[in-house]
Chains A and B, each alone.
Chain A
């Protein structure tokens, strides 16, 4: 919880099922907290992420995109 109304970027993360998503999952299981302003989308491979996915995410209001894998 932040008191002041600071800018909170909306981040969309495209995470690879086999590495980064597994990592995020492990973080969840281990009860490690990470900020709620990242919305994670699981993909079967980061190679699946197309330019149009990134453009669409920006159009829907994302401030930043993370492609990880």
Chain B
């Protein structure tokens, strides 16, 4: 036992998919068990936060944290794990770039509460009760974590050594990361464990001249299985997105949604996609261009689907 590493797995604002992806490495999970003692893994094992608090600093060799940070509890545990860990890995799109939860940055806390606790059709909340950090009851004070206006990526709040992107990261990349840890062969601090190229580079679809007269959603198109999806008028984010997944989605006729985040050459994934999409519109006529662009449903959510926290925009203006 003495020679084993200590690993912690933690989730913050995530969907659980990254946890499942960790288990999806199948029998390789036994290698992980061979390699390391797991000291925290709330979804699978029973540990208490006190166990971590009582540790010496740097006692954990690697903490894998998935999920974005959107409340005080998540921030507290992320900071605690940072203090106790030699290496922190941002695991998955939410931790690396904000992920799907960071679409919340198009709104603020009040709007989100109003929608989730009042306006949704299935909600029955006649007293308009909203989550409140402190509530007095007969037995004393009840507290719950405080919800932020803004969703943060992990490295907005703590230092992060490695990034394992993807929603969730592919099994191959998880295994690659674990093997690198096992063999003490980790890349330079700050590295993204994925490809240096784009999804388009990994995609076998035939790329010809891109000229698009209308944008359509995948279900509206009888998709040609050989031809680039963007050329078929389907918004595909491959050109602005880091590869490493092996172009999973285009391979099965679905466009890339951009979950691996921008490549190191790209300052802002959404802005890059905007240029890519603008450059394929086949028209010189302002009105027609505006009409074609209108076909794009929810451009903000489409271009920044996995990375509002990582974008130059960061969020909708507050106040």
Contact = CB atoms under 8 A, between A and B. Distances in A.
A52 interface: yes
Interface string A48-59: 001110111011
Contacts of B272: 50-52
Q: Give chain B's interface secondary structure class.
A: loop
B275 A56 contact: no
Interface size class of B (residues with CB under 8 A): under 10
Interface string B223-262: 0000000000000000000000000000000000000000
A9 B266 CA distance: 28
Contacts of A54: 271
B313 interface: yes
A49 to B, nearest CB: 9
Given A50-B275, A51-B268, A52-B267, 9 more contacts: A50-B271, A51-B271, A51-B272, A51-B274, A51-B275, A52-B312, A55-B312, A55-B313, A56-B312
Interface of B: 266-268, 271-272, 274-275, 312-313
Q: Is the interface of A mostly helix, strand, loop or mixed?
A: helix
A59 B312 CA distance: 7
Interface string A23-60: 00000000000000000000000000011101110110
Contacts of B312: 52, 55-56, 58-59
Nearest to A50: B275
B296 to A, nearest CB: 14
Nearest to A54: B271
Contacts of A56: 267-268, 312
